[in-house]
Amino acid sequence: MDKMIISRMEYYGRHGVFEEERRLGQRFYVGLELEMDLSAAGLTDDLEQAVNYAEVHETVKSVVEGESVKLIEALAERIASAVLRTYTRVEAATVRVTKPHPPFDIHFEGVTVEIRRSRKREQA
């Protein structure tokens, strides 16, 4: 299966277990791997035969900047669901959500969760 990979989209959201995280908000990075047949788009050079990544960005933005959740796992699920619901050409989506600065008194670059969801799983 072909893939469209959208790397490190940056958003500001209000997600986290702690009230302070939801009140103040913080940055989140989202990466997507969208599995679909890209041959028609490649052969015709027609955007109508593709998934418009600018529109995907806006879809993800509406989820990340929308309703708060406590866990980035829940945020990833919401993103995957929105992408599969909105873009019928996409057969499966791998979603990576990174919280670059978790509010802990330890030092590391960030925490990332990765999930893969497909249409087959949604219909089961």
Give the pair of three-digit tokens for residue 87. 């873009």
Catalytic residue among 3, 61, 70, 99: 99
CA distance 37 to 85: 17
CA distance 119 to 124: 9
3 catalytic? Reply is no
* Active site (catalytic) residues: 99
